[in-house]
Amino acid sequence: MPSRIDLERTGVTTQVMAQQTRNVAGLVTKRRTDQVAATGPMPWIESNWAYDTLGRVTSQTVQKGANAGGATEQVAQQVLAYLGNDDPDSMVHTLGASGTNANAKTYAFGYDWRHQLTNTTVTQAAYGVAPYATTSGTAFAGTYDYGNAGRLKKANVGAGLGPMAGGEVKTRNVDYCYDPVDKERVVALKTAAATPCTGAAYATYAYDDAGNQTQRAYPAGSAPTSPSGSGSAETFDYVYDGDDRLRRVTKKVAGAVVASEEYWYDEQGARVGVLTRDSAGTKQELRWFIGDTQAHYDAAGVVTNVYSHLSLGTPIARVERTGNTTTAVEYQFHGLASNTIAAVGADGIVKANLAYAPYGELIEGQQPAGPAAGLAAHPRRMNDKYIDDLSSLAYYGARYYDNVLIGWTQRDPLYRRIPDVAGAMPRHANLYQFTLSNPLRYTDPDGRSAVDVSQTAAQREANQQYLQEIVGDQAVVVTETTAEGEARYLVIQEDHQKANGKSEATAYLMDMTASMDAVLLIQNVDWSKDTTPAQIEKDHGYDETFGVSTRNAPNPEVETHGGGSTARKSQNPLSYWLEDHIINRVSTTVRARSVINYTNLDETAPGTSGRSVPITAAGALYHEVVGHGWLDQDHPGAIETENRWRREDPARRGEERAKP
């Protein structure tokens, strides 16, 4: 993993933008920037993290140095506590300095047995600013009710004593009303009533046959009860292309067009352009996205500024260029769920300091440098996703998210087409549900699948890279999630014999392990489509000696080929290497036989067995991952070439198995 990133600019001394320090578990404990002008208004700035024994963040403190010799100044802080080894229980989020009259918000969270967020209360400490000048109060309160299928039934959300500076919380107590034909999609939010969905409309939604939201409408009302906040009826009309990509949003107030935005995508489906037009359709601005660089053009096509986002796994800084030789550096920091919590200029001035409600609405947004440099200049917020100016929708990649609806504007791109894939993970088949209804524990990096944030993106990337290095180019390692949202590393090597694109053995394995926490699933190539589930069960953790299945144990012993031979296990200490270096290193469960010092204990010919040969630990894992077919002679963990496994088919016995 990278530990440092530098910024090089023409005519300017190279700046170390960030230097990371990690603990023995590989978790980042400090990210520090020492500015070139070390005697300036902010000689340095850093973020410090602390973790519990499970690797979860317990605190993050962003602080900066003051003018030459000045005291350290805190910019922001989050302190978290958890429910056992589960979800966040509480969080104290401080905007600015700590101590007397600190702007501190204490969050308390509640969940149901499915880990769905049911309530959040945010208590604001008194800090000398109205309405919290002398007494504390409730800055936010939200309760969320769900049906048996996990769909939202009701949301009661409020800003407590009143909207705070920069706050965007839309006060509402609404029933969720679903389409009687397609029961997944919300067609209206209505004021909560004794008989659900009989109250006045708060918002209405329309869809096309593909499940894409085509219109969002808010009736006339006054802030904060109306999401529009304008006092007039608002509608947003959406247009999609043939690939179900949102191409245009048109906003109307009281029936009249006020503005529109058009969106452009590359051949991979990633959004690369946003064009804004006024009520007459005249072009106003073009925003062009090239990776993490964002260029702004005015109506005449002249570049006005360019933002380049620098990252070390998570964003660390933004460099703004307003001319060929004019640049400004801003340091950015992200907290729980990768939400942007602070942005600080190189001059030490805090540009933005943000606190969120759980589903992404801003409770408070401080902007000491002024609105132009504050919230308006920082559209990347919850989960570090870009929020469009006109629609207030957050662009995730595959879909757009509406934080008032608390849901996606489009169906899930996978499960809408192949619903059976969610057979072992039914909650994932809720086509419009956002982050499994728990945005504190899960994030959705691109709108396709929820990911557990208790294991950081850096950890997942490191684990995936570690496994990929072992298997080389003979298999592909991908990261998915279980039904509980835990990380699962799939080492995929297709079976040689397939039935409808997937062998029965592979299909059974995928079903068997789908709901397990953090599973490394090995799809062996030497299982034919006729391999019985019982044999696979035996191969993947059934101990004949003790007569019990270990496949549901949290960390079952990695079994040597041959099953219940205790002696064989004791003779093969490398099996424990697999536990130490995979289970402990990757925090996953190995579901594979580890053939240690033995290469073919099954019969290759009647009455014979395979020859015992030396094998390295890497070779053992490689052997399991790639399948019992062969090991590349050039691979570091390879066993001798002549010891490749033979097919059991008598017609092919004696032949070397073909390279996958």
For the cut 50, the answer to whether the pLDDT of residue 504 exceeds it is: no
Residue 638: HSE in the Cβ half-sphere, 13 Å Cα cutoff = 15
The pLDDT of 21-30, averaged and rounded, is 86
Alpha carbon dihedral 109, 110, 111, 113, in 10-degree steps, equals: 140
Reported as a pLDDT band with limits 50, 70 and 90, residue 38 is: low
pTM of this structure: 0.72
pLDDT 10s digits, 444-478 = 888 988 877 765 555 666 666 665 665 555 455 66
Q: Is the peptide bond before 224 cis (omega within 30 degrees of 0)?
A: yes
Q: Using the 8-state DSSP alphabet, how is residue 268 labeled?
A: T
Task: Calculate helix-pair angle for 457-471, 617-626, nearest 10 degrees.
Answer: 90
Q: Using the 8-state DSSP alphabet, how is residue 255 labeled?
A: T
For the cut 70, the answer to whether the pLDDT of residue 510 exceeds it is: no
How high is the pLDDT of residue 472? 57
The domain locations on the chain are 4-408, 455-652
Q: Burial level of 89, CB count in 10 A (0-12/13-18/19+)?
A: middle
Reported as a pLDDT band with limits 50, 70 and 90, residue 370 is: confident
pLDDT 10s digits, 374-428 = 899 999 999 999 999 999 999 999 999 999 999 999 998 877 877 766 666 677 7
For the cut 90, the answer to whether the pLDDT of residue 355 exceeds it is: yes
Stretch among 54-63, 79-88, 288-297, 516-525 having the lowest mean pLDDT = 516-525
Locate 77 and state its tokens: 């802080």
Percent of the chain with pLDDT over 70: 65
Closest CA to 552 of 521, 591, 506, 507: 591
For the cut 60, the answer to whether the pLDDT of residue 222 exceeds it is: no
List Cα–Cα distances, 330 to 326, 348, 371, 471, in angstroms. 14, 9, 16, 40
Stretch among 482-491, 617-626, 634-643 having the lowest mean pLDDT = 634-643
The pLDDT of 528-545, averaged and rounded, is 39
The pLDDT of 506-515, averaged and rounded, is 38
How high is the pLDDT of residue 398? 92
Give whichever of 264-273, 505-514, 553-562 has the largest mean pLDDT.
264-273
pLDDT 10s digits, 300-331 = 999 999 999 998 878 899 999 887 778 889 99
How high is the pLDDT of residue 656? 32
pLDDT 10s digits, 264-285 = 999 889 999 999 999 999 999 9
What H or E segment, with its residue span, contains residue 108? strand 103-111
How high is the pLDDT of residue 111? 95
Do residues 289 and 271 touch, judged by C-beta distance below 8 A?
yes
Do residues 231 and 223 touch, judged by C-beta distance below 8 A?
yes
Query: Can you give the C-alpha Rg of the chain in angstroms?
Result: 28
Q: How far apart are CA 80 and CA 85, in angstroms?
A: 13
Q: How far apart are CA 94 and CA 342, in angstroms?
A: 11
For the cut 50, the answer to whether the pLDDT of residue 524 exceeds it is: no
Percent of the chain with pLDDT over 90: 45
The pLDDT of 627-645, averaged and rounded, is 31
Reported as a pLDDT band with limits 50, 70 and 90, residue 533 is: very low
Measured from the Cβ of residue 650, the count of other Cβ atoms closer than 10 Å reads: 9
How high is the pLDDT of residue 577? 35
DSSP three-state, residue 125 = coil
Between 414 and 438, the higher pLDDT residue: 438
Locate 106 and state its tokens: 């204490």
Reported as a pLDDT band with limits 50, 70 and 90, residue 37 is: low
How high is the pLDDT of residue 486? 52
Q: What is the mean pLDDT of the chain?
A: 74
Contacts of 277 (CB under 8 A, 6+ apart): 259, 260, 261, 262, 283, 284
Do residues 115 and 436 touch, judged by C-beta distance below 8 A?
yes
For the cut 60, the answer to whether the pLDDT of residue 200 exceeds it is: yes
